[in-house]
Amino acid sequence: MSFISEQIASRRLPPLGFDNKDLETRRREIVDILADNIYGRTPDFKSEVTAEITYRHENCFAGHSKHIHYNLTVTTPSGPYSFPLYLTYPKSDKKVPLVIYISFDMSTPSGFTPDEEISQRGVALAKFCYTDVTADRYDDFKTGIAPMFERPEGATNLWGKLGMWAWAASRALDFLLTLDLFDPEKIAVAGHSRLGKTALWCGAQDTRFKYVFSNNAGCSGDAVTRGKVGEDIARITKVFGYWFCEKYKEYSGDAIADMPFDQHYVLAAIAPRHVAIGASSLDTWADPESEFLCCHAASPAWEAYELPGFIAPTDGYTEAGDSYSDGYVAFHNREGEHSPCRADWMEYIDFLLK
């Protein structure tokens, strides 16, 4: 037994359960488990999406790209709701890859994206600020789209704000696909930290995203929970409980052992599509070792589809500078702190363009 196999066994991770079962049926079961226990159920509502152009630059980045600001309007059970969406795409006579980035901010380093370099590599980038969808704070679900959906009293699986931000990314894709500019086999959703968790949950639910990029998502995202160091369920649900459904709080402390899931489930729910996990060597709060182990533990989902999952060494944990992208599951461990940066983006774009 390899070192990694021993670690997976020692952490007592629940099996993925793809054996002797219809693969798509099991994948949907996993999505249901995650919805009922972590992220909450996304409301079953068919939203209509329209957009108005508020700004246009036809020749940005030395004339090689176009940049457009939209005011996106989505319908909800309580009426329309609008939020900004920014799109930059290279001028091309063919359909190009697209990344939808759920951003902290449209200008500061916390929302950093190397827009010009991404465009020069032939990739379109669409961005929206997550707080334009609903506020990132305890507010009794009274801001943004949150109050526009009913929250029945006593339900433990109502969607949290991660789910709402994920829903907005899917609505952005609804609109962007109407432009007929993008290669449908090269569409990605991406995010960093809490928005990396959001991107994973978005990709697990919305199979139109063929790639998911999760940067430093850690606890409740791309790191296995059992045996994890740094942030844990007790801490994250105390400080950020509104990100999740109420049920998730029940798995704090020793109750972790009773979870019928772990975070390799959310990666597995993206199979047979592509997922890339970005870790940072000094980000002990997210725990690069548990992120690396999560990729290994999720790999059997792709193997069930007879596809290469995570192709990486099994004789030890990850070190700074590691990068593996030969399978459908990619992982890199960038040297440095918890932050998105150019080096992360180049890993994701390389993976998308393979």
Distances (CA, A) of 331 to 27, 210, 312: 22, 16, 9
> DSSP class of residue 158?
B
> DSSP class of residue 305?
T
290, 315 contact by CB (below 8 A): no
pLDDT given at position 111: 78
Return d(Cα 209, Cα 270) in angstroms, integer. Answer: 9
Long-range contacts, stretch 324-327, CB < 8 angstroms, 24+ apart: 325/276, 325/350, 325/351, 325/354, 327/299, 327/302
Amino acid at 72: L
Question: How many percent of the chain have pLDDT more than 70?
Answer: 100
Consecutive 10-residue averages of pLDDT for the chain (354 residues) = 96 93 95 98 97 97 97 98 98 98 86 94 98 98 98 96 98 98 98 98 98 98 98 98 98 94 98 98 98 98 98 97 98 96 97 98
Return d(Cα 26, Cα 144) in angstroms, integer. Answer: 34
Partners of residue 65 on adjacent β-strands: 60, 90
User: Per-residue pLDDT tens for 239-287?
Assistant: 999 999 999 999 999 999 999 999 999 999 999 999 999 999 999 999 9
Please calculate the CA angle 185-188-194 and round it to the nearest 5 degrees.
160
Q: Which pair of tokens denotes residue 175? A: 């609109």
Q: How much is the pTM?
A: 0.98
Partners of residue 124 on adjacent β-strands: 98
Q: Which pair of tokens denotes residue 287? A: 């725990």
Return d(Cα 348, Cα 332) in angstroms, integer. Answer: 9
User: Per-residue pLDDT tens for 161-206?
Assistant: 999 999 999 999 999 999 999 999 999 999 999 999 999 999 999 9
Q: 189 phi and psi, to 5 degrees?
A: -120, 140
Residue with tokens 């990729």: 295
pLDDT given at position 68: 97
Return d(Cα 226, Cα 249) in angstroms, integer. Answer: 15
b/e burial code for range 146-185 (CB count within 10 A of at least 16 → b)? bbbbeeeeeeebbbbbbbbbbbbbbbbbbbbeeeebbeee
Polymer length of the chain: 354
Q: Is 76 exposed, middle or buried (0-12, 13-18, 19+ CB in 10 A)?
A: middle
Q: Which pair of tokens denotes residue 353? A: 């363009």
Amino acid at 334: R
pLDDT given at position 20: 77
Separation of first and last alpha carbons in the chain: 32
pLDDT given at position 110: 73
